[in-house]
Structure 1
């Protein structure tokens, strides 16, 4: 009995598969036409889509000895179930996890956006902002999207009469005000510049995507230099302020020391043969002023040298293990785009056939129920 049931189930499955195959075979004409249409769309998309090139660089930030020791201690503590992250933060090192926030910050992107680059469509170096506001012509797909899906927003902008001509940035101590054009260009740049951190191996990778190969390499190189500058500025901010203060005090005390030295020398020149008690007292007073000024001056000179050494020690060092190179091939693959659209056309056609078959069977059952 059990064998008969199993045989019936197998035969039913075979019937279902044969029925599915017959359904697909009946709709083969629709499938072929749909696939051909979607293949044509895929070819058009592959040809009309703008090329995208990617350039990257990999850096290893060299931390100070204290931070490295603390990092090793943190790793051992983590294995034991303890977290020494707060102690590591107190070492004064700027965590690599902050680097992506620096890259995505508005001041960083504004500086990167206003730097000059070489574009194939312009015969002289221009800034990224100037190129996208004065020289850039969007492709067919971008224009189609703007005046189809984005048409309501274009109309609203025209009705509101928003100012899109001013390119000046208003910066105060509290905020930065960007124009609409600046914000749009900044978003284009922000979408193309990314930074990833690898905590396990201790390196960071800065990547730039652009529609030109050389441009992506130029922006990547500039972003790398800016990132190093920003990190260095943040890292040595305290030491630099201390150095500036000591330099100012050193310059003032140097003048006082030289004045005390000159006063003592003048007095001795004018009173070589004088042996009065009053003259000796005056000389002792000048000698004391000179010695005090000399002691302060010497201490400040030592502190100045220590402050300079501290700035050098706090300055981070970046080892470039993968320099920026000009990409030779674009990221987009025409063959992959064609395959995706072809597969999509086949899925839609088969789905339409089965959906139509399903609706037909439901309709027949409905009519048969009504006939009863």
Structure 2
């Protein structure tokens, strides 16, 4: 125990004897931290919270409507949910390449520039790296730049021969960085969907969040009601055909009756009965399709998801990056601990 106390006191004495060196190194770390903290690019974060309507148990909400529909010959019993897209899958939708491409190429307003342009145009033509990013690009990233001088310039095909996605390596890198700017998370306990985006312009961050929310809700809605809409369109077409057929049969019966008013022949009566039977069959088909079409319309409405905005998008006022206090504290702590360890190790080696 005495040796441990002596050792600790000895280490404290060594550290105190090297205090000037420790202060210089720590000061250097602080200077680097200050440089990074005050030259890093400013970013703003905007967010929105949504609560999707629970599709489970919705069928019960149509209890009264189901009773009225039953009187009209419409059966709502088999109208279960067709979509299996749960909120947990929403982040995967946002991360998908088609969704990201549509998002990055949609124009939004940049208040600082007072102009409307896409994120792709902004990050490829206007945005410039920070001082730290510039130094890193021409030090750590210099070998990659030198290698790029000996490669032919990549050009994305303007008229791709198929429906595959064609992007240059530069575009892929830009898209990967852009993905980090948009985020969708789901609280598994409450079911709340949190949408956040980060942009160099506060107004652009808010606009991008609003755009992301709208596109996401459209994608989810289209998926949920896709089958129901296809079914409705199919029934609507059959309904129009049945309506025309019924009208044709009506005219045939009316024309035949007008032409044979005073004729009591059995053949005429038989033909008239046949035409009426055809008209009745056409009417039953027409009536059945009308019932099915109303059922399909109700199903589309039932399957349409509803999103409640719990926290609307706001234009951010405070910067989300750089976190200057955290950066300074990290460099101060790293420098102080690092130089103290160096002094202790160096002292231990000198004693051996």
TM-score where L is the length of structure 1:
0.83
Q: Measured at CA, do residues 240 and 257 of structure 1 come closer, stay the same or move farther in structure 2, by a change above 3 Å?
A: same
1:66 is aligned to 57
2:336 is aligned to 346
How much does 1:47 deviate?
0.9
Given candidates 21, 25, 32, the residue that maps to 1:34 is: 25
Residue 122 of structure 1 contacts residue 135 of structure 1 at CA under 8 Å; is this kept in 2?
no
How much does 1:172 deviate?
4.7
Q: Measured at CA, do residues 67 and 301 of structure 1 come closer, stay the same or move farther in structure 2, by a change above 3 Å?
A: closer
Q: Measured at CA, do residues 344 and 297 of structure 1 come closer, stay the same or move farther in structure 2, by a change above 3 Å?
A: same
Instruction: After TM superposition, list the pairs within 5 Å mapping 1:172-191 onto structure 2.
Output: 172=162, 175-191=164-180
Whose helix fraction is larger, Structure 1's or Structure 2's?
Answer: 1
Is residue 108 of structure 1 aligned with residue 138 of structure 2? no
Measured against aligned partners, the alpha-carbon deviations of 1:129-157 in whole angstroms (never above 9, x if no partner) come to: 12222222222222222221112222223
Of residues 138-147 and 95-104 in structure 1, the stretch that sits farther from structure 2 once superposed is 138-147
**Within 2, Cα distance between the matches of 1:194 and 1:167?**
30
Residue 168 of structure 1 contacts residue 179 of structure 1 at CA under 8 Å; is this kept in 2?
no
2:110 partner SS: coil
Residue 116 of structure 1 contacts residue 127 of structure 1 at CA under 8 Å; is this kept in 2?
yes
1:223 partner SS: helix
Residue 58 of structure 2 contacts residue 302 of structure 2 at CA under 8 Å; is this kept in 1?
no
1:241 is aligned to 230
1:337 is aligned to 327
Instruction: After TM superposition, list the pairs within 5 Å mapping 1:36-51 onto structure 2.
Output: 36-51=27-42
Cα-Cα RMSD: 2.3
Is residue 316 of structure 1 aligned with residue 287 of structure 2? no
1:316 partner SS: coil
1:117 is aligned to 108
**Within 1, Cα distance between the matches of 2:112 and 2:214?**
25
Given candidates 265, 280, 286, the residue that maps to 1:291 is: 280
**Within 1, Cα distance between the matches of 2:281 and 2:274?**
11
Of residues 241-250 and 150-159 in structure 1, the stretch that sits farther from structure 2 once superposed is 150-159
1:125 partner SS: strand
Is residue 159 of structure 1 aligned with residue 150 of structure 2? yes
1:223 is aligned to 212
Residue 38 of structure 1 contacts residue 341 of structure 1 at CA under 8 Å; is this kept in 2?
yes
Q: Measured at CA, do residues 123 and 210 of structure 1 come closer, stay the same or move farther in structure 2, by a change above 3 Å?
A: closer
How much does 1:19 deviate?
0.7
Given candidates 249, 255, 259, the residue that maps to 1:260 is: 249
Of residues 240-249 and 58-67 in structure 1, the stretch that sits farther from structure 2 once superposed is 58-67
Given candidates 5, 26, 43, the residue that maps to 1:14 is: 5
Measured against aligned partners, the alpha-carbon deviations of 1:46-81 in whole angstroms (never above 9, x if no partner) come to: 111011211111111112243799xxxxxxxxxxxx
Given candidates 205, 226, 230, the residue that maps to 2:194 is: 205
Measured against aligned partners, the alpha-carbon deviations of 1:198-227 in whole angstroms (never above 9, x if no partner) come to: 111121211112222111111111111111
Of residues 353-362 and 311-320 in structure 1, the stretch that sits farther from structure 2 once superposed is 353-362
How much does 1:231 deviate?
0.9
1:221 partner SS: helix
How much does 1:176 deviate?
2.6
2:63 is aligned to none
How much does 1:247 deviate?
1.3
1:144 is aligned to 135
Residue 167 of structure 1 contacts residue 182 of structure 1 at CA under 8 Å; is this kept in 2?
no
Residue 235 of structure 1 contacts residue 314 of structure 1 at CA under 8 Å; is this kept in 2?
yes
Q: Which runs of 5+ in 1 are unaligned?
A: 1-8, 70-88, 363-372
Higher relative contact order (CA 8 A, sep 6+): 2
Residue 167 of structure 1 contacts residue 181 of structure 1 at CA under 8 Å; is this kept in 2?
no
How much does 1:17 deviate?
2.1
**Within 1, Cα distance between the matches of 2:81 and 2:262?**
63
Q: Measured at CA, do residues 28 and 108 of structure 1 come closer, stay the same or move farther in structure 2, by a change above 3 Å?
A: same
**Within 2, Cα distance between the matches of 1:91 and 1:267?**
48
1:206 partner SS: strand
1:177 partner SS: coil
TM-score where L is the length of structure 2:
0.87
